[in-house]
Amino acid sequence: GAAGSVTAVDLGASGGRVMVGHVGPDALRIETVRRFDNIPVSIPDGLHWNVLELYRNVCSGIADATRRCDDVASVGIDSWAVDYGLLRSGSLLGIPYHYRDDRTAAGVRDVHAVVGPEELYRHNGLQHLPFNTVFQLAAERRAGLLDVADRLLLLPDLLAHWLTGAEVAERTNASTTGLLTTDGRAWNTELLERLGFESSLFAPLVSPGERIGDTAVAGGPPIPVTAVGSHDTASAVVAVPAADESFAYISCGTWSLVGVELDEPILSDESRLAGFTNERGVDDRIRYLHNVMGLWLLDESVAQWRSEGVDVDLPALLAEAADVPPGRVPVFDTDDERFLPPGDMPARIAAWLSEHDEPVPRTRAEFTRCILESLAQAYARTITEAEKLTGRTVSVVHIVGGGCRNTLLCRLTAERTGRPVVAGPVEATATGNVLVQARAAGLVHGGLDDLRDLVRRTHALETYQPS
Ligand code: LFR
């Protein structure tokens, strides 16, 4: 059958990449054409994303891709969720905030004063995270920005807007705002009205696979921009190489998104209290999952040690952590909100442990082991809860994303969940982005099962058995 190429732009919290995927009915190969850092910048009003730098790299990456390959059928963009730019008459107002900025506490209070947590969950089914767009917007109102803004675009939509001129809201990512109806069809006008947000602020919704427009970037050829699962987690879940529906996934990077795939949301109070979110997936699936703090805990610890002048070699540190005897280190609650902001992570973990009368690790290797054991424990707890709340049986756990390279984490996850863990693909997000575009371009056909089957046939996967 016909083969062709598409370009995936995948922006993560610490770096971005532009990749070209070569796809056909029996082929799926992805090459990286550009990698770049994504370094947030703190100024007196808070922590921001450097969106112009990101856009410059996206444009250069697309140019690299078209130079490398003359059959690029389309471009698709994904990034982390919830963050956005506000515009007025097409011009960006201010610098988009980073979701780890702490201005949202007042926004949470403002929203909950009008719509309490129970009712809010029935409206949007989202795990309470203080940075959900709905809370950020309430903070924005306090700052007066909503008085002038006439458009909100989530970050992948903002970049697509700069590339094409079009203004859309891609559904999977729009579902993380907390302002969509639970069937995903429309913006929740009742909720918008009660919270005092103008419904004209929100762009027309599009679904993964729809054409957004054509690139109109100086010097380059026009290339169609296709909506993908523009929420990175939605793209990653597309590329989970599961063979049947009895699987759980862990999309493991800065965050660990742990859950199952459903056809309908679960909006019960038990689900809310267990911290499960109902985010929209590609092909109208529900990503029923819990946000676990993820490798942020380790990355931020390493950053702290390096800032203290220690020369940390990550592979060596992980090898030492693997040699720490089992049971030597305690586990802590990775969900504690104190771990959200940037800063000295080992000190915060030590404080948590001391408050809970647990021994504090003495070495960096012990800290590392303690973090990974705690993550694996959080994964196990989440999967057990997901089984209880959905009535599903989980017989295999798929770890995808950068974290699947961490063999110690994979091994601990197999042990603590008591289930086989299948690791890979590492580039799940870019792969899901590529697959949705390839299907829209007619290079592959079928439903998620068929796309996952292609991933399984084209990737070497590692399995870890519980002991
Ligand atoms: C993962 C992710 C999560 C989201 C968090 C913040 O990269 O997109 O799914 O909860 O980042 O946006």
Enumerate the β-bridge partners of residue 91.
Answer: 88
Looking from the CA of 227 toward its CB, the CA atoms found within 13 Å total 25
3-class DSSP assignment, residue 84: strand
Report how far Cα 458 is from the mean position of its chain's Cα atoms: 24
pTM of the predicted model as reported, rounded to 2 decimal places: 0.98
Which of 144, 170, 193 shows the shortest CA–CA distance to 77? 170
Ligand 1 atom closest to the CA of 81, numbered from 1: 12
- Measured between alpha carbons, how far is 178 from 104 in angstroms, rounded to an integer? 14
Ligand 1 atom closest to the CA of 80, numbered from 1: 8
- Measured between alpha carbons, how far is 290 from 258 in angstroms, rounded to an integer? 5
- Side by side, which strands form the sheet with 151-154? 91-93, 84-88, 151-154
pLDDT of residue 287: 98
3-class DSSP assignment, residue 235: helix
Are 377 and 413 a contacting pair, CB within 8 Å? no
User: Which residue's CA is minimally distant from atom 9 of ligand 1?
Assistant: 233
pLDDT of residue 163: 98
Q: What would the pLDDT profile of 152-199 be if each residue is shown by its tens digit?
A: 999 999 999 999 999 999 999 999 999 999 999 999 999 999 999 999
Length of the chain: 467
Helices 407-417 and 314-323, interaxial angle, to 10°? 30
The helix (H) or strand (E) run that includes residue 37 is strand 27-37
Q: Is the dihedral of CA 116, 119, 121, 124 positive or negative?
A: negative
Q: Is the pLDDT of residue 121 over 70?
A: yes
Going by DSSP bridges, is the β-strand pair 15-24/27-37 parallel, antiparallel, or unpaired? antiparallel
* Ligand 1 midpoint to CA 37 (Å): 17
Ligand 1 atom closest to the CA of 277, numbered from 1: 10
Which of 276, 287, 275, 250 shows the shortest CA–CA distance to 403? 250
Amino acid identity, residue 317?
L
Tokens linked to 372: 């990974």
- Measured between alpha carbons, how far is 339 from 333 in angstroms, rounded to an integer? 10
At 239, phi and psi to the nearest 5? -90, 10
Ligand 1 atom closest to the CA of 291, numbered from 1: 10
The response to whether residue 254 sits with its C-beta less than 6 Å from ligand 1 reads yes
With the most atoms of ligand 1 within 8 angstroms of its CB, the residue from 134, 232, 286, 433 to mutate is 232
3-class DSSP assignment, residue 78: strand
Could you give the residue numbers annotated as active site? 232
Tokens linked to 358: 């647990």
Segment 17-42 mean pLDDT:
97
Write the CA distances from 460 to 26, 154, 258, integer angstroms: 15, 34, 22
The response to whether residue 99 sits with its C-beta less than 6 Å from ligand 1 reads yes
pLDDT of residue 1: 57
Place of tokens 């390839």: 438
Q: What would the pLDDT profile of 186-231 be if each residue is shown by its tens digit?
A: 999 999 999 999 999 999 999 999 999 999 987 788 999 999 999 9
Share of the chain above pLDDT 90, in %: 98
- State the DSSP code for 38: -
* Ligand 1 midpoint to CA 184 (Å): 19
Q: What would the pLDDT profile of 73-97 be if each residue is shown by its tens digit?
A: 999 999 999 999 999 999 999 999 9
Are 463 and 404 a contacting pair, CB within 8 Å? no
- Measured between alpha carbons, how far is 437 from 430 in angstroms, rounded to an integer? 11
Q: What would the pLDDT profile of 346-378 be if each residue is shown by its tens digit?
A: 999 999 999 999 999 999 999 999 999 999 999
With the most atoms of ligand 1 within 8 angstroms of its CB, the residue from 250, 255, 279 to mutate is 255
- Measured between alpha carbons, how far is 293 from 190 in angstroms, rounded to an integer? 32
Write the CA distances from 235 to 80, 201, 238, 318, integer angstroms: 11, 26, 5, 28
The response to whether residue 412 sits with its C-beta less than 6 Å from ligand 1 reads no
Tokens linked to 98: 């980073």
Report how far Cα 416 is from the mean position of its chain's Cα atoms: 24
Segment 129-135 mean pLDDT:
98
CA angle, 97 as apex, 94 and 101 as ends, to 5°?
140
The helix (H) or strand (E) run that includes residue 139 is helix 133-142
Tokens linked to 51: 């969106």
pLDDT of residue 231: 99
pLDDT confidence tier of residue 283, bands split at 50, 70 and 90: very high
Going by DSSP bridges, is the β-strand pair 277-280/256-262 parallel, antiparallel, or unpaired? unpaired
Whole-angstrom distance between the N-terminal and C-terminal Cα of the chain?
43
The response to whether residue 239 sits with its C-beta less than 6 Å from ligand 1 reads no
pLDDT of residue 217: 84
Share of the chain above pLDDT 70, in %: 100
